[in-house]
Amino acid sequence: MPIELPVFWIIVLNCVGWPLIQLGLAWGITRLPVDWFHPIGFGTGKYESWMLEQVFRIKSWKDKLPDAAAWFGGGFAKRSLASKDADYLKRFIQETWRGELCHWCALAFVPLFFLWNPWWADVVIVVYAMMANLPCILTQRYNRIRLRRVLLSRHRKG
């Protein structure tokens, strides 16, 4: 803890800092050109899908997560599938990459909080950051796998 602060200011920085970082990243990454997110590929991720379904039980909780991209103008809502059109599915896959990037970037900010937090608060920050971001990362990956499967089956049929 290089910066010593009263407990009040530590709490304020932690409670205000995280929402600002999360929302700021979501807003900023929503503004990036969609063409930057193009690694579409056609892998089906059978093992990863099995892990997410069987070990993490993702189907039981993924729909409870918020979709912050829809909060910003120009954001791509990922709460539900609006079409099975190939172009829409490809765009949706791109948006899962965008969403995943946002959550990885948020995790990269964790060390910033180590500057003013005592060791026990560092533990709280790490636990919070993991709980707030890893479920979203896993959901983006799971949805991407499922969308790739839909695209692959359409590709084989057509």
Residue 76 lies in a domain: no
Task: Say what the pLDDT of residue 104 is.
Answer: 97
Structure confidence at residue 78 as a pLDDT band (50, 70, 90):
confident
Residue 68 lies in a domain: no
pLDDT tens-digit map of 63-73: 999 887 777 77
Structure confidence at residue 80 as a pLDDT band (50, 70, 90):
confident
Domain that holds residue 135: 7-31+46-62+82-157
pLDDT tens-digit map of 25-40: 999 999 999 988 876 5
Residue 74 lies in a domain: no
Overall number of domains in the chain: 1
Task: Say what the pLDDT of residue 39 is.
Answer: 62
Report how far residue 125's alpha carbon sits from residue 16's, in angstroms, rounded to the nearest whole number. Answer: 13
Residue 119 lies in a domain: yes
Residue 39 lies in a domain: no
Residue 27 lies in a domain: yes
Residue 118 lies in a domain: yes
